[in-house]
Amino acid sequence: MRSIRCTRSVLLGLQLILALLWLQALPLSAAQAPPSSVEFSVWSRSWIGTLGSKQVEVELNRTADSFSGSYCYQPCRAETRRQLVLNGRMRGEGALLSERDSGNGAAETGTWHIESFEGGTTGTWTSPNGKRTLPLVLNQNQDDLEARFPYDIRLLADALPEEEGDGCPNPPRVSAIRLYKDGALIQTLVTESQGTCGIFTPDLIDANFDGWPDLSLAMFLPAGPNIPHQTWLYDVATGRFVDAPAGLQGISSAEFDPLHRIVYSYWRASCCEHGVSTYRWTDGDVEEIDSQSSYFMPLVDGSERRLCYITPSYQNGEIDFISRVEQTGDGSLKLRQVEPKTCDIDAWVFLERTYIDIWQLSQNGQKPTLLRTEEIAWKQTNTSAGPRFCPEVPFFDSGRIKRVVLSENPDLCSEQKPD
């Protein structure tokens, strides 16, 4: 399997430089608040309980006095988990939330009156016409990291977040995360974060897989999926947060797989190069263990030549190419999760990343193995522009590999044999 690392390494290096420059602009004193600053609470919580006689799961996010979230009736299914949407504002110690069905034209389906968020959450649901009410009883999901987080989180920013509307509001610039316990300030984490149309709020993650919740905050939104984050690890001995090591800070859009104890990242190096990298904790920092990039697979679809864009994905602790060519027991080849009609008509721009990986057919849940790679070769041939070295491209064609010299377009060819 191929690893195309050079472009990605340069990209991630530039991102790390930008992140460091971003951090250098932070105030010198963690305790000193910038002028004209405001402080407001943020959290994300999940509950399990009952709405009337039915079991429900509820997810709710708070930013200042605004709430957003969703709920579903158990057993929750992926297609309906976030269909019932909740939005509203604080009211006293609780909240008043409107309920809408996003799968039915965002029709209003009810109102939630939450009495309090302390301890067990209780309230009532009321139908749109006000004629029907149901009791609401929720308990915080103990599997949620928020339930094990010992502090209340407040953000220090230059303004309160604007109300969400049809346009794109200008989000405030966050300068610190403040952690409180029983009303007392325990720690201030200096940062610099500003979203594009909405404020970034801290994520609770278990970044080092020690069972304790850590904190991570997106810093800014670049033109792509490579979002830099600032991360702090929870030190159990001191009960305080410390900066994550440089290796983890340099990973954009890091995600965490506690089952396999893998840190992984989906990245983009250009318009037409996407990849996945995986890391493992070693000696107090993360170390890259694998990195795979996208490529272009040529195939023949009837009378048309096409190029399929094949991207890697992360699953079950490994980087995998779900869309691929597999070799069966009799030696024939077949496409797996590749729909030729969705592939582009051949546009030969990235010849250096055009090839066909051939995998052994996976059986009994075993991991597929790469048997061989059919690559482009350069053949000397006559063209309308004279003798040239032209690319001999492997095509998947009806269960076999058919190699075709692309001599009809001299622009693809070279007077000298390419390396």
| Boundary of a domain, candidates 228, 258, 292 | 292
328 domain-assigned: yes
Region 109-115 average pLDDT: 96
Which of 266, 292, 318 is the C-terminal boundary of a domain? 292
Say yes or no: 188 and 171 in one domain.
Answer: yes
- Lowest-pLDDT choice from 142-156, 241-255, 395-409: 142-156
The answer on 391 and 324 residing in a single domain is: yes
Is the predicted pLDDT of residue 350 greater than 90, yes or no?
Answer: no
Q: What CATH number has the domain bearing residue 132?
A: 2.40.128.30
pLDDT band at 247 (very low <50, low <70, confident <90, very high): very high
Where is the domain boundary, 145, 170, 189? 145
322 inside domain: yes
Residue 213 has a pLDDT of: 94
Q: Residue 415's pLDDT is what?
A: 92
Question: pLDDT at residue 10 above 50?
Answer: no
Q: Residue 24 pLDDT > 50, yes or no?
A: no
The Cα–Cα gap between 225 and 8 comes to: 13
pTM: 0.83
Q: Can you give the pLDDT at residue 6?
A: 44
The answer to whether residues 162 and 247 belong to one domain is yes
* 166 compared with 254, residue with greater pLDDT: 254
- Do 276 and 236 lie in one domain? The reply is yes
**pLDDT in the model for residue 34:** 58
Q: What percent of the chain has pLDDT over 90?
A: 72
What was the pLDDT predicted at 11? 47
Residue 419 lies in a domain: no
- The per-residue pLDDT for 5 is 43
- 417 falls within a domain: no
In a domain, 151, yes or no: no
Structural domain harbouring 96: 38-145
285 and 172: one domain? Answer: yes
- Regarding whether 77 and 13 lie in a shared domain, the answer is no
pLDDT over 80 (residue 141): yes
What is the total count of domains within the chain? Answer: 3
Same domain, 407 and 307: yes
pLDDT tens digits for range 374-396: 999 999 999 999 999 999 999 99
Domain co-membership, 223 together with 74: no
Average pLDDT over residues 228-235: 96
Q: Are 243 and 249 in contact (CB under 8 A)?
A: yes
Average pLDDT, integer, range 182-194: 96
In this prediction, residue 151 carries a pLDDT of 94
Residues 309 and 407 in one domain: yes
| C-beta atoms surrounding 206 within 10 Å | 16
Say what the pLDDT of residue 104 is. Answer: 84
Average pLDDT, the chain: 88
